[in-house]
Amino acid sequence: MTRLALPRHTEQQESNQSQLMHGLHSLFAETTGSPIQNAFKKRGSHMPGSASKEVPEDERQQLFARLKTQKRQGPAVMYLHVPYCANHCLFCGFYRNKWTEDSSAPYTDALIKELRMMADTEAGQSAPINAVYFGGGTPTALHAKDLARLIREIRYLYPLAPDCEITVEGRIFHFDDAKVDACLDAGANRFSTGVQSFNTRVRQRMGRKASGEEARRFFEGLRDRNRAAIVCDLILGLPYQDDEVWHNDLQTVIDLELDGVDLYTLAVFPGSPLSRSIEKGKCEATRPLPEQGLMYQHGLEFLDQHGWRQLSSSHWGRRTRERNLYNGLVKSGSDCLAFGSGSGGNLNGYSYGVTGDLAAYFDQIENGLKPLSRIQAQDPLAPALNELAGGIENMRLDLALVEAAHPLAGGFKDTALQLLENWQAAGLIEGSAVIKLTTAGKFWHQTLLTNLKLALRHHISLQPS
């Protein structure tokens, strides 16, 4: 019998399907053993925003000037970066500039000039700003009067929503009563402090200056003012942090009656002080990933037992005062107006960065220029990728919304079916059209998001042009 040749497009479809299945298989999870310990060999990573084509340096200022004339749509946030730290903590990969007391006023002056450059533009005024975040570095290194100047200037210049969340991130060291009250009086309504651990030994070995008892007293002072949401960050997997230390850290958060807590898995940055210290044998090794999974599970169950609500895969709130607005909006791709050396934002289809070189930053601000280090056109897939990111962040992903976000994303739910069935079998998710993360899925949420983004790109690359 003569075998009839298949039409060319059918052969191509079969080839595409084969490539798709081969590509998805590499994203599968291990289905034996404990899912929270063994589903993957390593964690994925996700940074907010999706960029593609780089804009040449000589076109950046002209393009940004045009972006400022365009109205914003939808929710938006503002980010201000303070790139100074009193010391380089062992675990940190973000250290940039050493703090000196005479840095405060000049840097605040430059930030205010940068804020004013955009204040009267369409991009600055066309829609409410839902959250403001002071990050770093260490924003609370600034003097009390300078922190107050910045907060008041933002409230005066920009259309903040009536319920705008204004967060000041800080560390316990040199965040004194004068600075706390100055921020509150100026309008801050949320403090986020990276305590990492309340155990004095762990803190000191990681380069923290305040003891565990001093950290507790600091949070008691913030709490007793009853004027803002009080949030702390805990890191799980730190050297010298055994199960008892971890449990005590969680119990301390409960006892302090804070409003919110983040449970972050330790990331060891290559070349960081912690990485070098471990390599030289000067520091105990970090907890292995399978043990970190069990620590996360204990944290989730412990907080749930005490009535805390899980707002995202890594964040919990005790009562309705804590909303976690900034993190939720920025991770789902909302416009972000960014200010300060080393900051990054998104505006009207482009992502951009402000130079981390302080000398260049001051020079360009003085000359009336936005100190841009990059501008990149938004990835054409950004709407669909943002749906993925927002859904996984909120622990509930509706794939119909992903498909509706991009013309070529149609059918993604069907072509990803084998991947989703694997994740169900591994105990990471429930459902297929609408995915809900299990406890193990919440621990591996960054890996699930990374793999879903790869699967979506692979799916679209095989669609007929």
Confidence at residue 326, expressed as pLDDT on a 0 to 100 scale: 97
Classify residue 125 as exposed, middle or buried by CB count within 10 Å of its CB (0-12, 13-18, 19+): middle
Q: 355-366 burial string, b = 16+ CB within 10 Å, else e?
A: bbebeebbebbe
CB contact at 8 A, 345 and 424: no
| Cα atoms found within 13 Å of the Cα of residue 210, Cβ hemisphere only | 21
Question: How far is Cα 442 from Cα 429, in angstroms, rounded to an integer?
Answer: 9
Confidence at residue 463, expressed as pLDDT on a 0 to 100 scale: 79
Calculate the alpha carbon distances from 432 to 107, 110, 256, 308, 399 in Å: 50, 50, 40, 27, 8
Question: How far is Cα 215 from Cα 212, in angstroms, rounded to an integer?
Answer: 5
Q: What is the DSSP code (8-state) at residue 57?
A: G
Question: How far is Cα 236 from Cα 442, in angstroms, rounded to an integer?
Answer: 15
Calculate the alpha carbon distances from 196 to 233, 304, 389 in Å: 6, 20, 25
Query: What is the biggest distance separating any 2 CA atoms in the chain, rounded to whole angstroms?
Result: 91
Confidence at residue 49, expressed as pLDDT on a 0 to 100 scale: 56
Question: How far is Cα 141 from Cα 83, in angstroms, rounded to an integer?
Answer: 10
Q: What is the DSSP string of 339-354?
A: ESTT-EEEETTEEEEE
CB contact at 8 A, 68 and 126: no
| Cα atoms found within 13 Å of the Cα of residue 166, Cβ hemisphere only | 24
Confidence at residue 101, expressed as pLDDT on a 0 to 100 scale: 86
Confidence at residue 347, expressed as pLDDT on a 0 to 100 scale: 96
Per-10-residue mean pLDDT for the chain, 465 residues long? 32 44 83 97 71 89 97 96 76 65 95 98 98 94 97 98 97 91 98 96 88 96 98 96 98 98 90 86 93 98 98 96 96 95 95 96 97 94 94 96 95 93 97 94 97 92 76
**Domain architecture of the chain: domains with CATH:** 20-47+381-461 (1.10.10.920), 51-331 (3.80.30.20)
Tokens 């069935």 identify what position?
421
Please give the backbone phi and psi of residue 76, each rounded to the nearest 5 degrees, phi first. Answer: -145, 155
* 81, β-bridge pairs: 135
Three-state DSSP at 376 gives strand
Identify the H or E element spanning 372: strand 372-378
Q: What Rg do the C-alpha atoms of the chain give, in angstroms? A: 24
Confidence at residue 8, expressed as pLDDT on a 0 to 100 scale: 37
CA 143 to chain centre: 26
Handedness of CA 40, 415, 378, 387 (dihedral sign): negative
Confidence at residue 465, expressed as pLDDT on a 0 to 100 scale: 61
Q: Which residues contact 34 (CB under 8 A, 6 or more apart)?
A: 290, 293, 440
Q: Supply the pTM of this predicted model.
A: 0.91
Please give the backbone phi and psi of residue 27, each rounded to the nearest 5 degrees, phi first. Answer: -100, 5
State the CB neighbour count (10 A cutoff) for residue 378: 21
Q: Which residues contact 24 (CB under 8 A, 6 or more apart)?
A: 416, 418, 419, 455, 458
Please give the backbone phi and psi of residue 389, each rounded to the nearest 5 degrees, phi first. Answer: -65, -45
Q: What is the DSSP code (8-state) at residue 70?
A: S
